[in-house]
Structure 1
Amino acid sequence: MNATVTSPTVNTQVASNNSIKANAIKASFPVRRMDFEFNQVPEYWMNGSAGLTHFMTALSALFPDGEKFFVDSTRAVRNDPKLADPYMQKEISAFIGQEAMHSKEHVGFNQSANFYGHDVKGLEKKTNTVIQTFRKGFLKVAKPFGITQEMIDLTATTALEHFTATIASQLLRNEEIQIKMTDETMYRLWMWHAVEENEHKAVVYDVFETLYGRGPKAYVLRNTALVVAMAALFCTQSYFVYSLLKNDNKLNAKELGSIFKYGYSLKHGIITGMIPELVDYFRPGFHPNDHDTNALLARWKEKLGFNTH
C-alpha cells in the first residue's frame, strides 16, 4: 500500500504562501489619521450661530461612546468562522480603525467645547447611559425569541451605521450647511467624517447578513432595531440640543428657528433630506450600496486631498 507523505517543509511553504496572499489583500478604504487642532476653534463656529453650532455639537457628543459601541459590537463577532474570509477581515479591521479615529477626533473637539463652558463631557456620559439602557432592555424583550446580546448589539450597529452614512451623504450634498461651517478645522472634521462613513457604510451590514442571513427573523430584527435606534437617537440628540441652548442662555426663537430651517425644513433640512434613504432600509433585499455614493466620494476625496487611496 502506497501512501503520500508531505514533508514539514512543504507544509510550511504552503502556510507561508497563504499568509503572503492574505497580507496582499487590502481593504477597500484606508484608515486616515487626521490629528486636528481645536485650540483656535471659535465658540460658535457655524457662522456665529449658537443654534446650529449646538445642533452639531449635540451630534458630536453622541460619537465617542457611540462609535466605541460600534467597534465593540463588531469585534465581538469577528472571530466567527463565517467571517473567516480574508477580505472580510480586512474590511472589518479598516472599519474599526476609521471608527477609532472618528471617536478620537470628536473627543478632541468636545473637549474644546468644554473650554467655553458647555458641558459636552456630561452629555457624553449620558450617551453611554442611553446605549446601555437600550441594549439591555432590548435583550429582556428579545431573549425569549432566541436573540442574544451579540445579535442585538450588531443589529443596532447595523441600523445606526445606516443613519450615520445617510446623514453623512446629506452633509456632502447640502451646500447650504457646508457654507455655514465657517471655521476651516470644523469644516474639514465633518467632511472627513462624512466621507469615511460612506466609505465603510456596507461593512457591518455585510457582517450582519453573513452571520444572520436575509430570512424573516433577520428582516424583523434589523427593522425593529432601526425604529428603536432612531427613536432613541432623536430623543437623545434633541435633549442635548435643548440642554446646550438652555445652559448657554440661547434657548430662543431665533436659534430654534435656525435649527428648524437647516435641520427639519423641507427645502433646507438635513434631517428631512435623509428620510427617503432611511425609509429604504425597510425594503426587503435592501443593501447600503444600493445608494451609490462613489462619484460623490471621489469629488470630496479630491477636494480634501485624499487622493492616495
Structure 2
Amino acid sequence: MSNTAKARPTPVASEYTPLTARNVDFEWSGTPLHWVPGDPATTHTINVLHLLLPAGERWFVHVYKQALPLIRDERLRADVLGFIGQEAMHSQAHDQVLPHLARLGLDPTPYTAQVDWFFEKLLGDRTLPPGRARDWWLLERIALIAAIEHYTAFLGDWVLGADALDRKGCDPVMLDLLRWHGAEEVEHRSVAFDLFLHVDGGYRRRVRTWGAALTALVFLWQRGIRFFMANDPTLRDGKASLREFVRAGRQGLLPRPGAIARSIPAYLSPGYHPSRECSTAQALAYLANSPAATAAEAKPTPTRSTGGA
C-alpha cells in the first residue's frame, strides 16, 4: 500500500487532544417511549441512531483492527486505538437502549437484523486472495468510515448546541447519551480522516466513498424512521414524512436540511481537514460535566480481596 508524500491538508494543532474511552452509566427505566414530549416523529428520527450505531461502530472497530498494521506513525496509532475504545463504548451504550424500547412495546429486532446484514455481510470481510484485491477492499472501507465520521461529527456538533431539545423538556438521560456520544464524535473527528490520509488519501476514492456513505445513511435512516413510526404501539397508521423532518428542523429539534447540505462541500474540498470544523473545547467542556460520565468516574473501583485475616 502506497504512502507516498503528497500535499496534505494542515490540521489545526490547537484542536488536537489525546483520546481515551470513558465509562458511562445510563439508567433507562424512567425514559418514556416518546422522550421528545408530544413528538413521536422527532423522537423516532433520532432513535434511528440506536438501530444503526451498535452494528456500525462494531464494524468500525473491526475494520480499524485490520488497519493497525498499516500505521507507521506512533501518534496516529495511539489515536486509532483511542478511537477504537470510544467507538466500542458508543456501540455498547446505544445497544442498551434497545431492550428498553422493546419493554415499551417497540421491538427493534426486525430492523436491527437488516442493519447487521448491511455491516457484517455487505461491508464485511470478503473471501479475497491476499494482495491488491484484499488491500483495495480494506482501503475502501477505511475511506467509507472517514466519510461517515464527517457526518457523525456534524451531528455531534449539532446536538451539543441544540438548546431547543432542553426547552422542549426532552428526557435528560437520553439527552446525556446523545451529547456524551456527540462530544466524543467531535473530540475524535480527525482520526478517521487522518488514517485515510495515512494509508491512501486519494481524492477520487474520497469522493466515491463519500457518495456511497451518504446514500447508505439516507437509505438506512429513512427506513429506520418508517419502521419506528409504523411499529409504535401508541400510533395509529404512523408514517414518516419529509414535512415532519423540515418542521422539526425549523424548531431546532433536528438539524436543518440546509445545514446538512452545506456540510457536503466542506468534505469534498481538496483542502478539507476535520479539525477546521466544530470545537474540541466545547466537546471537552460537555464531557467534563456529563452526568453519565461523571457518575461512572465517581464509582469506587472494586478491590480484590487478598484473603488476609
Q: Which position in structure 1 is the counterpart of 2:64?
A: 74
In the TM superposition, what is the alpha-carbon distance from 1:159 to its structure 2 partner?
0.8
In 2, are the aligned partners of 1:111 and 1:121 still within 8 Å (CA)? no
1:181 Cα deviation after fit: 5.7
Q: Secondary structure at the match of 2:189?
A: coil
How far residue 256 of structure 1 moved from its aligned partner, in angstroms, is 6.7
Alignment identity in percent?
23
Instruction: Identify which of 267, 275, 280 aligns with 1:281.
Output: 267
Bigger RCO (CA 8 Å, 6+ sep): 2
Aligned-residue offset at 1:156: 0.9
1:262 corresponding residue in structure 2: 248
* Inter-partner Cα distance in structure 2 for 1:108 and 1:253: 26
Paired residue for 1:221? Answer: 205
Q: Which runs of 5+ in 2 are unaligned?
A: 1-15, 298-309
Q: How many angstroms does 1:257 deviate by?
A: 4.8
CA distance in 2, matches of 1:254, 1:198: 29
Q: Which moved more, 1:126-135 or 1:162-171?
A: 126-135
Residue in structure 1 matched with residue 45 of structure 2 by the alignment: 55
Shift of 1:40: 2.1
Partner of 1:244: 228
- Distance, in Å, in 2 between the alignment partners of 1:126 and 1:285 is 36
The offset of 1:74, in angstroms, is 1.0
- Whichever residue aligns with residue 174 of structure 2, its letter is M
Q: CA deviation at 1:144?
A: 9.4
What's 1:117 paired with?
Answer: 105
Q: How far did 1:266 drift?
A: 9.4
Q: Write the distance in 2 (CA, Å) between the matches of 1:128 and 1:242.
A: 18
- Residue 284 (structure 1) shift: 0.5
Indicate whether 1:169 and 2:152 are aligned: no
Q: 1:201 aligns with which of 165, 182, 189?
A: 189
Amino acid at match of 2:72: A
The farther-off stretch of 296-305 and 30-39 is 296-305
Match runs of 1:63-212 below 5 Å? 63-80=53-70, 83-132=71-120, 134-135=122-123, 148-180=136-168, 182-212=170-200
More helix by share: 1
Residue pair 1:50, 1:250 contacting (<8 A) in 2 also: no
Distance 2:58 2:284 in 1: 28
Aligned counterparts of 2:28 and 2:184: Cα–Cα separation in 1: 20
Distance in 2 (alpha carbons) for counterparts of 1:153 and 1:167? 21
Aligned residues of 2:36 and 2:170 also touching (Cα < 8 A): yes
TM-superposition CA deviations, 1:98-148 (whole Å, max 9, x none)? 0011000101011111111212222222112223565379999xx999962
d(CA) in 2 for partners of 1:37, 1:94: 25
Count of matched residue positions in the alignment of Structure 1 and Structure 2: 274
- 1:242–1:251 contact (8 Å) kept in structure 2: no
* Structure 1 residue 34: Cα displacement: 0.2
The alpha-carbon deviation at position 39 of structure 1 amounts to 2.0
Using the TM superposition, name which of 88-97 and 130-139 deviates more.
130-139
Q: Does the 8 A contact of 1:176 with 1:268 survive in 2?
A: yes
- Whole-angstrom CA distance in 2 between matches of 1:302 and 1:27: 14
Distance 1:303 1:33, change over 3 A: closer
Aligned-residue Cα RMSD (Å) equals: 3.1
- Gap change, CA 1:267 and 1:247, over 3 Å in 2: closer
How far 1:192 moved relative to its partner?
0.2
Question: Does structure 2 retain, via aligned residues, the 8 Å contact 1:167–1:271?
Answer: no
- Normalised by the size of structure 1, how large is the TM-score? 0.78
Q: Tell me the equivalent position of 1:39.
A: 29
8 Å Cα contact 1:52/1:255 also seen in 2: no
In the superposition, the TM-score normalised over structure 2's length comes to 0.78
Q: Which runs of 5+ in 1 are unaligned?
A: 1-25
Q: From the superposition, tell whether residues 179 and 303 of structure 1 become closer, same or farther in structure 2 (CA, over 3 Å).
A: farther
Partners of 2:226 and 2:239 in 1: how far apart?
Answer: 12
The alpha carbon displacement at 1:73 in A equals: 1.3
Match of 2:286 in 1: 300
Residues 182 and 31 (structure 1), Cα distance of their counterparts in 2 relative to 1, 3 Å cut:
same
The alpha carbon displacement at 1:178 in A equals 4.2
